[in-house]
Amino acid sequence: MLIAIEPNVPLKYYDVTKKVWQEYGQNIPIKEKCYSVVSSGNFVFIGSGQKVYRYSIDNNSWDALPPMLTGAYYVQYNYNLFVLGEYLYAFGETVAKRYSFVEKTWQECAQVGNSEWAWAVLDECIYAVGYSQTRMFDESKNKWIKKSANLRNRVSCYAFGYKGKLVIVGGKVQRQEQVKDDFSIKFNRTVHEKTSTVEAYCKESNRWSE
C-alpha cells in the first residue's frame, strides 16, 4: 500500500483500482513536520521529531511511543523508519535508534551516513548507501558491515528493495574537475551532477550492476 502523510489531516492511501488517493481514518495527531512513515501488519508508524505515532487500523485510533530521549538535535533532520521483527528502527543523520515492542524502550544503534545517504530494506536487512559506500546493518552485533562499493560516487538518491535486489536511482553524482583560481593556481573542485541512472546490488555476488 502506498501511503501519504500530512500533519493534522487523515491518512491517505493510493487506490490502485480507481487510481485515486483516498482518505482513511482519523486525523493524524501531529502539528510538526512528518519525517517518515512505514506500515507493518495492522499498524502504521509516523515519525515526527523525537516522537513516533502509531495508528491501529483495527481500532481506528492513534497513540504515541515514548520519545527518543531528549535533545533538540533529533528534530533537525529527516530519518527513516523500518519495522524488522520485534523492533522499529529509526536511521538518519542524527538518529540511530530502535524501539523494542517487547521492552517498550528505545535503544541506541550504530550510526552511519548523513542526510545525503539513502536507506532501504532488502530481505529483512537494512542497507545504507552514500557516495561510493554500501553498508548492511548487522542486528546481532549492532554494527554496519561494509559491502561492495556502488558504481558511482552518488548522493541524495532513492533506495528500495525489489525482487531480491537493492536498487538506487536518481540523485547526484560527484566528480572532481581541475580549475584555476585568480592566481592561475590549479586545484580540484567537487562538481555535483544530477543523474537518472539506476544501479542494482545483488547480495549473493556482492556486486553492483547498472
| pLDDT tens digits for range 107-166 | 999 999 888 899 999 999 999 999 999 999 999 999 999 999 999 999 999 999 999 999
Q: Is the dihedral of CA 168, 110, 112, 96 positive or negative?
A: positive
Per-chain mean pLDDT for the chain: 88
Residue with cell 502523510: 5
Cα(44)–Cα(55) distance, integer angstroms: 5
Which pLDDT band holds residue 78 (cuts at 50, 70, 90)?
confident
In sequence order, the 6+-apart residues with CB closer than 8 A to the CB of 44 are: 3, 11, 37, 38, 54, 55, 57
Residue 74: helix, strand or coil by DSSP? helix
Q: How far is CA 110 from the centre of its chain?
A: 15
Mean pLDDT over 182-205 rounds to: 83
**pLDDT of amino acid 187:** 66
**Which triple of cell numbers denotes residue 55?**
495508528
C-alpha to C-alpha distances, 21 to 10, 12, 77, nearest whole angstrom: 11, 6, 28
Q: Report the range of poorest mean pLDDT among 34-43, 63-72, 137-146, 201-210.
A: 63-72
**pLDDT of amino acid 145:** 97
pLDDT over threshold 70, residue 72: no
**pLDDT of amino acid 71:** 53
pLDDT over threshold 60, residue 169: yes
Q: What are phi and psi of 31, to 5 degrees?
A: -100, -25
**pLDDT of amino acid 141:** 93
**pLDDT of amino acid 97:** 93
Q: What are phi and psi of 75, to 5 degrees?
A: -100, 5
pLDDT over threshold 60, residue 75: no
Contact 189, 177 (CB under 8 A): yes
Contact 35, 45 (CB under 8 A): no
Neighbours of 140 (CB within 10 A): 5
**pLDDT of amino acid 49:** 81
Residue type, 185: I
Torsion of the alpha carbons at 135, 137, 143 and 149, rounded to the nearest 10? -10
pLDDT over threshold 60, residue 8: yes
Which pLDDT band holds residue 48 (cuts at 50, 70, 90)?
confident
